[in-house]
Structure 1
């Protein structure tokens, strides 16, 4: 960067000591443009309609099936029908039998206003997803159209997301 020393013979003229800010402004404008372009590329959004986090109190009907899914001491999946431990084949058989008995009780498959039972699954927080997924799949294979989860309500009875 050069410095002007003045060229005249005037005694009041001093060398110019101001900084030339033009290159600084040019660099800042280039950085601003790069920042604006990269931010719009980096921030990509997908429009989603996320469900509201809320809970409805569970209405317990005697015909509903209550399953508890956890792991035993060896890390194997353990499914409990009400309070008794069942295996995969036994769970399928019990579910099919329960559904058939309920349909027969209500007057057969062609009865008007057929109210089918629901399966409520309580999954242990430490149980792997494969255990809970297997229970869902088994209940759907048996013919249960409504399979839901029972969860711990939020503290103080407030509903809402913390995200």
Structure 2
């Protein structure tokens, strides 16, 4: 006697496939991911500063230039030779230093806790002024930062 509840035996090769083929889906997702990565604009924000590239030879007579120091405090206060100034006064000081017979060296030393925006604005002002003798002071403090 044959039970009616039992299912007929179907060979394994003739069974319908119950899984979805995910390979095309993954291919489409990878192509879309690559397209999104290519279309994302590159986020670059920098201030280009041309530093002197020629080494100073000891045979050349070097005048003793006046050294001005510009700093940015952690509070965003701009300091010119130790005294607080605003950006307009800084631009005036930079223009006055460029009118001297020998351009004085400008030493830039921002505080480690200073906001990037404040430092960036001061560097942009220095670049726009046309200063050619610029040095970064105190970078050795950040060697192990």
TM-score, with structure 2 as normaliser: 0.53
Aligned counterparts of 1:147 and 1:40: Cα–Cα separation in 2: 48
Q: Would the alpha carbon gap of residues 40 and 94 (structure 1) be closer, same or farther in structure 2, given more than 3 Å must change? A: same
Q: Deviations over 1:16-70 (max 9, x none)?
A: 485936332xx12xx1111111112113247x8x9xxxxxxxx9x9556432112
Aligned counterparts of 1:21 and 1:149: Cα–Cα separation in 2: 73
Q: Would the alpha carbon gap of residues 155 and 127 (structure 1) be closer, same or farther in structure 2, given more than 3 Å must change? A: closer
Q: CA deviation at 1:155?
A: 2.9
Q: Deviations over 1:65-86 (max 9, x none)?
A: 43211243xxxx3011233322
TM-score, with structure 1 as normaliser: 0.49
Instruction: Count how many residue pairs are aligned between Structure 1 and Structure 2.
Output: 114
CA RMSD of aligned residues (A): 3.9
Q: CA deviation at 1:90?
A: 2.3
Retained in 2: the 8 A contact 1:70–1:131? no
Q: Which runs of 5+ in 1 are unaligned?
A: 6-14, 51-58, 106-115, 157-163
Of the two, which has the highest radius of gyration? 1
Q: Which runs of 5+ in 2 are unaligned?
A: 1-5, 45-54, 56-63
Retained in 1: the 8 A contact 2:65–2:105? no
Deviation >6 Å, runs of 4+ = none
Q: Would the alpha carbon gap of residues 35 and 145 (structure 1) be closer, same or farther in structure 2, given more than 3 Å must change? A: farther
* Superposition map of 1:1-163 within 5 A: 5=8, 15-16=9-10, 18=12, 20=15, 22-24=17-19, 27-28=20-21, 31-43=22-34, 44-45=37-38, 65-72=68-75, 77-101=76-100, 104-105=101-102, 119-145=106-132, 151=139, 152-155=141-144
